[in-house]
Structure 1
Amino acid sequence: MVARMENNIKAAIVGCGSIAQVHSACISKLSGVSLACVCDIIRDRAEVLAGEYQAKAYTSFEEMIEKEDIQILHICTPHYLHVPMAEAALAKGINVFMEKPPAMNREEYDRLKEAAGKSGSRLGFCFQNRYNPGTLKALELMKHGIPGKVIGGRAIVSWSRDSGYYTESGWRGSLLTEGGGALINQAVHSLDLLTLFLGKPLKADAVMANHHLKGIIEVEDMMEAYIRYENDVTGCFYATTAYCTNMPPIIELHCEKMNVRIEEMRTICYDFDGRELDNVYIPTEGLKKKEAMGKGYWGAGHMDCITDYYEAYKEKRNTPIGITQVKDTIDLMIAVYEAARSGKEIII
């Protein structure tokens, strides 16, 4: 799905790390959009990315948004810079498309919501896994009522992050700059999908641990949560970055008639004895084969997520994934951390 846009839209990226490579590649595929400038405090990194797209390189974010006529800013920086940079851009009338997480805590979320409310500009978020083929197929199943009522669900993320991932970054592994570990950085997309299917979260109880990087990082490498949603729906969530490799996340829904498992690109239906059901019609109209941009286990929804945001901007429609659409996920993420740190169940 590639947007067709008549007028040239000037985009910018701040933060030229690995995820910026995905954003810039997506921007380059959009008709009527150009990557005008990029910014990173490491000059070489900014200049390399700028050179790929004939963009202008900056090392000062403030200078870039002051000098350049930018319509849309992609924020791909470390977590602690997300909200301050979004506030600054929104205050200048620049539209913002932000990488996860939208905020590290409640105070940041409230600031971000206030900034978006005051600005006439659009604030959107990159929750690209909502656009994964497996997610879309499962949503179609639910829309047609094929699995029946959702009773509960679970999310499992098993990834690998070694000490170098943290120590070489300059910001990961610190509560002050990352805000957390396995949940906020790696598994928030899976928590988002669990909530997308299960509904409004009401309560959360959780435990977290640092199993394999004690003395190296301040954040968790394991988070486990028990979540109670509206309508007596329950959710179980498990994420670890202490596994030996990176496996595709699993979202599994227990429904009245069957179990539905989502593994990024695939949606599989099972009976309650674990046998795969091969006679379930899964609507796939309009679902094209997609390829992952970046690491395969990041999903295959980046292009559609970014395109959707730009199309809404051009057509003056509501932002598809804005501050309202991520509220339940962010409220739940913050509650899970509060529960794990306090040892008490948190009411959301």
Structure 2
Amino acid sequence: MTQKRPLGFGIIGTGAIAGMHAAAINACEDSQLLAVCSSSPERAKEAAEKFKVPADADWQAFLSREGLDVVCICTHSGNHLEPAIAAARAGKHILLEKPIEVSLERADALIQACTDSGVKLGVIFQNRLKPGYLQLKEAVRSGKLGKLLMGTAAINWYRDPTYYSSSSWKGTKEGDGGAALINQGVHTIDLLLDIMGDAETVYGQVRTMVHAIEGEDTATAILNFKNGALGTITGGTSLYPGNPERLEIYGENGTIILEGGKIVVYAIKGQESVPVPQSEIGGSGASDPMAIDYKLHQGQVSDMVEAIRNDRSPLVSGEDARRSLALILGIYRSSQENKKVRLT
């Protein structure tokens, strides 16, 4: 049997998260980092030295490189659309960082560009691969919890003021889309929706109470899910010292609670409570955004390779990623209008 060549990956955007993507790509047998693209010749030179691959400061030169199959987009959240359209039109598959974009209009344009060009679009939500979450999802899908009654997500984190002051885009509406929910909270909100299904209505309140930023650093919301269940979300980057994120799922037959991606409560009627094997994979960014490792990103890189080779949807598609964005934007709108809003 002829061995398949590794797929060629490139990265647009060379900030902190790009290092996670590079490590994940290099750790996979079926992927190879070929090149990176940065925002200026100076940054490109630094990136070439850091990642030990050729670097460009121009999208078109980067996208013309031979053997490039997949582009990881690691630019700031409000700058995903333009490089994604360029990559899609060049026939490259796309794996981009969360959130998919900062508005539904830009997200829809990005999804449509990939559809029109016939390329795969995957979005990084690596916490879907944590062992504890996979066990929770299996319990729900197999009916062990019975009818779902309530789901809660708490991302009560902390960021030092320098996290925002050292960046030109973090916490801005144009670059970040907001702040605590759309940047930090979006991971756990994605998991909440993956388990509970879409929300029908939301009433939210967001505030900027500690940090000198445009977006929110403290937020809360009440949800009504389409399946009849209730839900809540709390989140922040103002909540010192920052607690590990929690996902609590309640059904008529029991409760499962994740904290920092690990199961801390697994209680099902009629079943003895047994110790749940834990894993350190992934980590939590409760007080440090880089307190995570690349292994879950590696899982999504491997999944992207398999999706391309087997012509299937990636683990998290553009449409999947749009759901968490729509809910978060609904929370922002609800807070601005001070009323419950219906989500479409």
TM-score, length of structure 2 as denominator length: 0.89
| Equivalent residue runs for 1:1-348 within 5 Å | 6-41=4-39, 43=41, 45-67=43-65, 69-213=67-211, 216-269=212-265, 279-280=272-273, 290-292=281-283, 295-296=290-291, 301-348=296-343
Q: What's the secondary structure of 1:205's corresponding residue? A: strand
Q: Deviations over 1:198-242 (max 9, x none)?
A: 1121111101000102xx211100121111111211110000100
Superposed displacement of residue 43, structure 1: 4.7
- SS in structure 2 at match of 1:325: helix
Q: Would the alpha carbon gap of residues 84 and 270 (structure 1) be closer, same or farther in structure 2, given more than 3 Å must change?
A: same
Mapped partners of 1:66, 1:27: distance in 2 = 20
Q: Which amino acid aligns with 2:209?
A: H
1:255 maps to a residue whose letter is G
Q: Secondary structure at the match of 1:165?
A: helix
Q: 1:336 is matched by which residue type in structure 2?
A: I
User: 8 Å contact 1:155–1:190 — kept in the other structure?
Assistant: yes
How much identity, in percent, do the aligned residues show?
Answer: 27
Tell whether the 8 Å contact from 1:125 to 1:322 is kept in structure 2 after alignment: yes
Q: Say if 1:160 and 1:241, in contact at 8 Å, map to a contact too.
A: yes
- Number of residue pairs matched by the alignment: 338
Farther off after superposition, 241-250 or 92-101: 241-250
- Given that 1:37 and 1:56 are in contact with CA atoms closer than 8 Å, whether structure 2 keeps it comes out as yes
One-letter amino acid matched to 2:8:
K
Tell which deviates more after alignment, 104-113 or 48-57. 48-57
CA distance in 2, matches of 1:282, 1:136: 16
Moved more, 228-237 or 155-164: 155-164
TM-score, length-scaled by structure 1: 0.88
Give the letter aligned to residue 143 of structure 2.
G
Cα pair distance change 1:149/1:347, threshold 3 Å: same
1:222·1:242 contact (CA, 8 Å) conserved in 2?
yes
Gaps of 5+ in 2: none
| 4+ residue runs over 4 A deviation | 42-45, 281-284, 291-294, 297-300
Unaligned runs of 5+ in 1: none
Q: Is the Cα–Cα contact under 8 Å of residues 135 and 264 in structure 1 kept in the other structure?
A: no
Structure 1 CA distance, aligned partners of 2:166 and 2:296? Answer: 28
- What one-letter code is carried by the residue in structure 2 that aligns with 1:102? I
